[in-house]
Amino acid sequence: MKKKKITIKEVAQQSGVSIATVSQILNGNEQKFSPKTVEKVLAAKAALNYEPDYFARRMIVKKSKTIGVLIPDITNPFFSTLVRGIEGVLYRENFITMLCNADLDTKKETDYLEELSRRGVDGYIIASSAISNQAINDSLRKKNLPYIVLDQKKAEGFSDAVLTDDFSGGKLAGEHLSQLGHQKVAIVLPEDATENIRTRLTGFQEMYPDVVLIHGELSKAGGRKAAEEIVKTDVTAIFAINDELAFGIYLGLADLGKKIPQDYSVIGYDNIDMCEYVTPQLTTIAQPIYELGQTTAELLLDRISQPEKNWEEQTLPVQLIQRFSTAHLK
């Protein structure tokens, strides 16, 4: 037989105070009451093993203590590290993370945005560029819901944003290959690149305005396929626009009997953990991925508590991590 759920009315009866007083104390407003009253209510709650009804509580406080996080591809270690940074801050502040993985599917991303809105989350972290500004406007801005965009999408003055310095990252990659004596280089990136990736390209073109563009999807499979195009050119170095692409290029070049860095120098972007576990270890541009997640979560929680404050955009620095996949041109 199913055990009857204890109600707030029974807690009030046991503690000898009103239902309203119990509700206020259990919803974090104990400072309004004497320590003795608070103690009686908490003792009754413990004795009866009372668990607040989540949905009833939300009707009272108008807060779900839940944040919706929308990412494009959970299989990319960049996003798993990013979510760890976000979740760590939210957990500390007693918020639950509701993660939506869109699998690089634009319709799925927009559907998730609508669904999160229906479920009444308190705020949104959008780490995916495929969602149109129109969808954000219809689902979030018109309803005055707090949200933040990061990394792949510019805020355009309509929300808080956390970005990394993609232009400097691209330029650092170009400077590194130039210092090693490489004159003919290729960059591997998606054909329909996101704004942050286009910014990396612009930074790289400061050093290599005539860089060879090779298109491939942002995955190891995309990098492996791109290797077939790389060997048709006369380049000596390759800038993979993210580390996942670089790992695919490793395998694709090996398939074709080529060696890194003897035949081609390869530099990646992100500095995910696997960079140290491949042979040779990957030279890359490091983004502060975990810090990016932390900063994003903190900025969103600030927005929830201070909805009228001015929009804020933060840009985090990047740095070159030199390992063994790049070498001087002989």
Round to whole Å and give the CA distance between 225 and 210: 22
Angle at 173 (CA atoms; ends 197, 245), nearest 5 degrees: 55
β-bridge mates for residue 314, sequence order? 162
Alpha carbon of residue 46 to chain centroid: 39
Cβ pair 105, 128 in contact under 8 A: no
End-to-end CA distance of the chain: 80
The pLDDT mean for the chain works out to 88
> In whole angstroms, what is the distance from residue 196 CA to residue 151 CA?
7
The pLDDT tens digits for 164-208 are 999 999 999 999 999 999 999 999 999 988 888 999 999 999 999
SS (H, E, C) 36-71: HHHHHHHHHHHHHCCCCCHHHHHHHHCCCCEEEEEE
Among the residue ranges 152-166, 174-188, 251-265, 298-312, the one predicted with the least confidence is 152-166
85 or 140, higher pLDDT: 85
Q: Which of 92-101, 145-154, 283-292, 319-328 has the lowest mean pLDDT?
A: 145-154
pLDDT greater at residue 86 or residue 74? 86
How far is it, in rounded angstroms, from Cα 166 to Cα 276? 22
Query: Can you give the pLDDT at residue 59?
Result: 47
- Ramachandran sector of residue 193 (left: φ over 0; alpha: ψ -120 to 50; beta: rest): beta
For residues 242 and 282, the answer to whether their CB atoms sit within 8 Å is no
Higher pLDDT, 14 or 177: 177
Share of the chain above pLDDT 90, in %: 54
Angle at CA of residue 294, ends 109 and 266, nearest 5°: 75
Indicate the residue type of 282. L
How confident is residue 89, by pLDDT bands cut at 50, 70 and 90? very high
Q: How confident is the model at residue 61 (pLDDT cuts 50, 70, 90)?
A: very low
Return the pLDDT at 155: 52
pLDDT at residue number 1: 46
